[in-house]
Structure 1
């Protein structure tokens, strides 16, 4: 299991590579689990879902990311720049973006499952699309 580190700058993005190859633990008949990661954050409501960035997306500059968020990369690659360093998350990688992190998300298309510490949001669709 990967965990976020308290050492160093807490606002650093972390990529846990190859988590899809971690072993599953059989907890009950027919039930398997693999904890992908954990972070020490305060109690808040959480939301999970699918995030898709397509080929029409632009670079997105975040001076201070608004929430703590985990992303499990399903397809494509998420290219980011933080503190002058290029980060690339590939399918099977888990990314933890801490609240307050500053980074540039490049326009590469990707699809991810996300979990974030915010309550549910009634997203107003720009275009309805199928996953």
Structure 2
């Protein structure tokens, strides 16, 4: 959701809608015995700044990603970056996990593909997909 103003109320409603849609989607997959065949990645191509612009936040460097599915090992796979002003880089939290690690894990452990030509290199894999 590329919002820059009125975020608290708007995002609360949007996240409620998103949560319900994901729940319904996976309920339907389970009803059709297909949930073991699907994972979902929710990821933004940009993060958010820590400083409020008066009614929201602007694009930044670090963000969150969510990987959802019955064969995903739940948990947090990175450390929350510091939000202390002295730890920010140009006003942004410092990313500490390259998103290409997530892509590499999905491509190699889920899709059984060579990730290197797709992500443009070799990146750390995360232990998040159940065999």
Which of the five TM-score ranges fits, normalised by the shorter chain? Answer: under 0.3
Structure number with higher helix proportion: 2
Structure number with higher strand proportion: 1
Q: Which has the larger radius of gyration?
A: 2
> RCO greater where, 1 or 2, for CA within 8 Å and sep 6 or more?
1
